[in-house]
Amino acid sequence: MPLHPEIARILAAMPAPPPGPLDPVALRAADETQVAPPEERLPLHAVEDTTARTASGEVPVRIYTPAEADAYGLLVYFHGGAFFLGSLETHDHVARSLAKETGLKVVSVGYRLAPEAAFPAGLDDCHAVVRWAAGENAGLAWDGTTLAVAGDSSGGNFAAAVAAKAHDDGFDRITHQILYYPSLDLDFDADRHASLRENAVGYGLETAGLKPFNAFYLDSGADPADPLVSPVKRADLTGLPPALVVTGQYDPMRDEGELYGERLRAAGVEATVSRYEGAGHGFVQHFSWIPEYHKVFEETRDFLGRR
C-alpha cells in the first residue's frame, strides 16, 4: 500500500527544516503552536494537572478520568519526542483518546527532557510515577487490576525500559506494555535494520535525522549499548508483561519494533505486533484523526481487555 494520501499531501506541503544545528527550545515552541485550544479537545469526565511526589522527585502529571467510578484500572502514558521534545500539552489528545476508548484512568507523565536533564532523569521519572500511581498516596483509586504502561516513539522506549526495570526490581504489578512505533535501538547504523534503508527518505521522519534528533539524549550520558537505552538489546526478555507493539509501514524504525515483538514471543511473552499500512512514524500523534489510524485506540482497548 502506498503512503496514505492525506499523509502524503500534508508532508508535501511542509516546509524544509531550517539549516544548522537543532535548537531544542525553538523546536519545543513550534510544537506547542500545534496544540488545540481547550474548547476543541475531546471531553472527558475529569482532567486534572497535579504533581506526583516520587522517589525521583516531584513530577508533573495530568490525570484523565473517562467516567465516574469507585475504582479504576490505570494506564501510565509517556509521550514521544526524541527524548527532548513533547509535553503534557502536545500529546494531550493522545491521552484523552486512550482514556475515552479504554475506559482506564490515564496518567500522562511530564518527565524531564534532555539535554537539560541528563540520562537517566527522564527514565527515572517515568519509572517512579508508575510506582507512585500504584500506591495509596496517589489517590487514584486503582482497583488493583490493570496497570499498563504505554508510549509513542521515545515514549515507547521508556515504556519498554520501565517494564524491564520494574521486573528487575521485583515490582510485578505492571500488567501490559503498549509501544507505538517505539524507538528501541539507538544504534543508528543504517545497515542494522532493513527499514532504515527502505524508508530512509520521503516519509516524514528520515533515517539521516535519527542520530541528530537523538543526540541530545545520547550526549547526556545514554549509552546505546545499555538495554535501558536500547531495550531491543536486552538479553533476557522472559517474565516481561504482555506487549502490544504498533508499527508503521513506512517508518524507518519499523523493524526494531517488530524485532522486539518477535523476541518477546520467543521468550514466552504474549506479544501482538500490529503494522499499520500506509503510515509512517508518528501517526498516532499526528494522524489519528484519520479513521484508519484512530483504530489504534480500539486495538489498544481490545488488547487490554483480553487479560
Active-site hit among 56, 87, 108, 153: 153
DSSP 290: S
Mean pLDDT for 71-94 is 98
Nearest to 242 by CA among 174, 290, 195, 301: 174
Answer whether 0.95 is exceeded by the pTM. yes
Nearest to 205 by CA among 91, 276, 152, 281: 281
For 177, phi and psi rounded to 5 degrees?
Answer: -125, 130
Residue with cell 527499514: 195
- Give the model's pLDDT for residue 14: 86
The yes-or-no answer on residue 153 being catalytic is: yes
The yes-or-no answer on residue 281 being catalytic is: yes
Indicate if the pLDDT at residue 71 is higher than 90. Answer: yes
Tens of pLDDT, residue by residue over 211-231, are 999 999 999 999 999 999 999
- Give the model's pLDDT for residue 190: 83
Rounded Cα distance, 57 and 166, in Å: 18
- Give the model's pLDDT for residue 101: 97
For 33, phi and psi rounded to 5 degrees?
Answer: -70, -15
Residue with cell 524531564: 112
Tens of pLDDT, residue by residue over 256-301, are 999 999 999 999 999 999 999 999 999 999 999 999 999 999 999 9
Between strands 46-54 and 57-65, the pairing is antiparallel
Nearest to 272 by CA among 305, 250, 224, 294: 305
Facing residues of 64 across strands? 47, 106
Active-site hit among 92, 125, 152, 251: 251
Cis bond before residue 5 (omega within 30° of 0): no
Active-site hit among 79, 91, 93, 281: 281
Tens of pLDDT, residue by residue over 85-117, are 999 999 999 999 999 999 999 999 999 999 999
Helix locations, the chain, DSSP H: 5-13, 24-32, 92-102, 121-133, 154-168, 194-198, 207-218, 254-266, 283-286, 291-305
DSSP state string for 216-264:
HHHTTT--TTSTTTSGGG-S--TTPPPEEEEEETT-TTHHHHHHHHHHH
